[in-house]
Amino acid sequence: MSHMTAIAIWCNTEVPGSPMLWAAADSRVSSHDQRSSRKTIIDDAVKIMGLPLIARAPDPSGFFSEVYYAHTVGYAFAGSSLMGQNAYLALVPLLSNLISLERRPPALADVADYVARLLNRTFDETKHRGKESLFEVAIFGFCSCRQSLATYHFAPNASVETRGGMAIKMTPCENLKDQDFIYLGDNKASMRDAVEKAFKGPNVPGRPASRAPRYVIADCIEDVSCGSIGGDLQLAIADREGFRPLALLKPRVIGTPEAYLSYLGHELDQSMQQVGSLGIGVKGMA
Q: With b meaning 16 or more CB within 10 Å and e meaning fewer, what string describes 205-232?
A: eeeeebbbbbbbbbebbeeeebebbbbb
DSSP code of residue 131:
G
Helices (H) and strands (E) in the chain, counts: 4, 18
DSSP code of residue 44:
-
Binned average pLDDT, 10 residues per bin, the chain of 286 residues? 77 94 93 66 93 96 95 95 93 98 96 95 67 87 96 83 68 94 92 95 89 95 81 96 95 86 92 94 91
Maximum Cα–Cα distance for the chain, whole Å? 63
The Cβ of residue 260 has, within 10 Å, a number of other Cβ atoms equal to 14
The distance in angstroms from the start CA to the end CA of the chain is 31
> What was the pLDDT predicted at 199?
95
Amino acid identity of residue 16, one-letter, is P
> What was the pLDDT predicted at 1?
46
Of 201, 92, 257, give the one whose Cα is nearest residue 193: 201
- The Cα 9–Cα 111 span in angstroms is 18
